[in-house]
Amino acid sequence: MTVENLIEIASGLDEYNLEKLCDYAAFLKYMAKREDEEDAAAVIARANEPEISFEDLKAELINI
């Protein structure tokens, strides 16, 4: 969906539904930011874990 499509859809909404749309967009933005922060925290928490090469991982999974 393009910005033009969204503008066209939003222009057809009454004030109440446009406000609901804006609230929902803000909620989605908040959730995306929160998920990004959680992902970053998980990466930081695992920063000191030992690394394993893809070849070693693949060999380990094949032997399971």
Largest CA distance in the chain: 61
Structure tokens at 33: 């930011």
pLDDT at site 6: 84
Say how many C-beta atoms besides its own lie within 10 A of residue 18's C-beta.
13
User: Per residue of the chain (64 residues), what is the pLDDT tens digit?
Assistant: 788 888 898 899 999 999 999 999 999 999 999 999 999 999 999 999 989 999 999 999 998 7
Say how many C-beta atoms besides its own lie within 10 A of residue 20's C-beta.
12
Q: State the residue range of the domain holding 10.
A: 3-62
Say how many C-beta atoms besides its own lie within 10 A of residue 22's C-beta.
12
pLDDT at site 63: 85
pLDDT at site 34: 98
pLDDT at site 3: 83
Say how many C-beta atoms besides its own lie within 10 A of residue 13's C-beta.
13
Q: What is the number of domains present in the chain?
A: 1
